[in-house]
Amino acid sequence: MSAQRLDGKACAAAVEEELLERINSLQSNGIEPHLAVIIVGDDPASHVYVNSKVRTCKRLGIRSTHLELPRDTSEEVLKQHILDMNSQEDLHGILIQSPLPSHVNEEALTDLIDPSKDVDGFHPSNLGRIVQGRLDGMIPCTPAGVMRMLKWADIDLSGKKAVVIGRSFNVGMTQALLLAAKGADATVTIVHSRTQNPRDECKDADLVVAAVGRPEMVQSDWIKPGAVVVDVGINRVDDATRERGWRLAGDVCADVSDVASWLSPVPGGVGPMTIAMLMENTVRSAELRMQ
Ligand code: NAP
């Protein structure tokens, strides 16, 4: 058996179709959705991510402002940029591209963003709303993208056993909350670096979401036959057979496809959904201004 492909690219295209209608409606009310992306320093991977966000904005008719700052920019200067953006009426989303240089306190910057413009969903008030079961705010894009993809594939989670590997606030922990929330109704276990036997935790799960950052950690003998597996991981691994000397790998081994009923590919799975959810959060923020 080969697992069905949980095709994030196709699902993201469907989300974009929907967004185009909402953007048209905003535009006919004189509102142009506008996203600002702040990038500090010259981390090549960050520039690749930012470029792909800017390209998606362009495709959808979302205005984007790309603020590129040198590596030695002080925290004070960054704070001032955020405060200026908070007060800019025609700006609806503010995103700070991670990672920031070590002299900058990322949390202090996130705390300053107006929660209604916090399209990454990392502000404590947006994260706190999720704990309260209020899912109408800005939800972090990666876990929101996973939920949307599961819904799109018509995968019922109610009463099912789900395991999330990873407990970062931006992915794993929020993912666990969303899966356990009313409406999704899964029974969730969180696996982290201190978990004694991750394989045993996964073995009887109906859904495994891997968000670890360890290439191909999840093996086929971790997975119950017919389970759904979502691979959030994006890892660069050396590969001498490729001209560029590396390839992208997820957190899940390819042979999981022989056991699972659904498996999301890397690339082309969660990645495109993360960007689609960022666009949706930006559009939602613009719609809030219209009300
Ligand atoms: P992170 O902040 O480094 O968190 C990794 C989590 O994995 C931590 O909770 C850690 O546990 C846990 N972990 C590490 N080693 C483990 C092990 N051996 N067994 C069990 N758990 C272990 O990373 P992240 O930001 O959540 O990202 C995770 C992965 O997703 C990365 O590959 C990242 O590139 C990818 N990602 C992809 C997208 C996308 O759009 N597709 C978006 C965001 C992230 P502790 O808490 O105990 O340290």
Q: Which atom of ligand 1 is nearest to the CA of 192?
A: 21
Q: Which residue among 193, 197, 209, 274 has the greatest number of ligand 1 atoms within 8 angstroms of its CB, and so is best to mutate?
A: 193
pLDDT of residue 291: 76
Closest-CA residue, ligand 1 atom 40, reads: 271
Which residues have C-beta within 8 Å of that of residue 134, sequence separation ≥ 6? Answer: none
pLDDT of residue 205: 98
pLDDT of residue 192: 98
Domain segments of the chain: what residues? 30-116, 141-271
- Enumerate residue ranges in the chain where pLDDT < 50: none
| Helix (H), strand (E) counts: the chain | 9, 11
Residue of 7, 118, 120, 231 marked active site: 120
Which residues have C-beta within 8 Å of that of residue 290, sequence separation ≥ 6? Answer: 26, 29, 31
pLDDT of residue 289: 87
Closest-CA residue, ligand 1 atom 8, reads: 166
CA distance 15 to 270: 13
Q: Which atom of ligand 1 is nearest to the CA of 266?
A: 41
pLDDT of residue 290: 81
pLDDT of residue 136: 92
Closest-CA residue, ligand 1 atom 16, reads: 193
Q: How far is Cα of residue 264 from the mean position of the Cα atoms in its chain?
A: 14
Q: Which atom of ligand 1 is nearest to the CA of 274?
A: 40
CA of 80 to the centre of ligand 1 (A): 31
* CA-based nearest residue to 229, from 171, 173, 155: 155
**Residue 120 a catalytic site member:** yes
Q: Which atom of ligand 1 is nearest to the CA of 145?
A: 40
Q: Which CATH superfamily is domain 141-271 in?
A: NAD(P)-binding Rossmann-like Domain (3.40.50.720)
Cβ of residue 199 lying under 6 Å from some atom of ligand 1: no
Distances (CA, A) of 163 to 29, 118, 191, 252: 44, 28, 7, 14
Return the residue matching tokens 């200026």: 84
CA distance 244 to 236: 11
CA of 113 to the centre of ligand 1 (A): 24
What CATH topology corresponds to 30-116? Answer: Rossmann fold (3.40.50)
Closest-CA residue, ligand 1 atom 48, reads: 193
